[in-house]
Amino acid sequence: MLGLALEDLAEGRASVALWSCGMGLLGLGLWAFALHRHLIRRLLGFNVIGTGIFLILVSLADETERAAAHGLIITGLVVAMLGTALGALLIRRLEALEAQHGRQHAAGGHAI
């Protein structure tokens, strides 16, 4: 699939190449999200899905609208980065609470 996308890019059909790579990343991210149970790995799979969607959106923009599409994609990447940071912090906090609950339960105390 990557070879076909690079071939399209070399022939000047950049939108087909971007669409192909975006669909590949979307499928890979969905596969990773469905396969893994660990929350950090699922978060990374979700980020790969988002990257694929951004590539698909850029491939749908015409040449005259390319600058506006790039601006929207950069804004989306910044929002995705902040969402990833928030997700990582929440996962870290959840794991800390689960560890605390496990220690309290093992000690015979009442957990909240």
What are the pLDDT digits (tens) for 30-79?
A: 999 999 999 999 999 999 999 999 999 888 887 778 788 889 889 999 99
102 against 84, higher pLDDT: 84
Whether 112 maps to a domain, the answer reads no
pLDDT band at 106 (very low <50, low <70, confident <90, very high): confident
Q: Which residue has the tokens 């990582």?
A: 88
Report the CATH number that the domain containing residue 79 is assigned in CATH: 1.10.287
Is the pTM higher than 0.85? The answer reads no
Whether 67 maps to a domain, the answer reads yes
100 against 111, higher pLDDT: 100
Per the structure, the count of domains in the chain is: 1
Whether 8 maps to a domain, the answer reads yes
Whether 7 maps to a domain, the answer reads yes
Residues of the domain holding 16: 2-107
pLDDT at residue 8 in the model: 59
Handedness of CA 73, 76, 81, 84 (dihedral sign): negative
pLDDT at residue 2 in the model: 54
CB 91 within 8 Å of CB 43 = yes
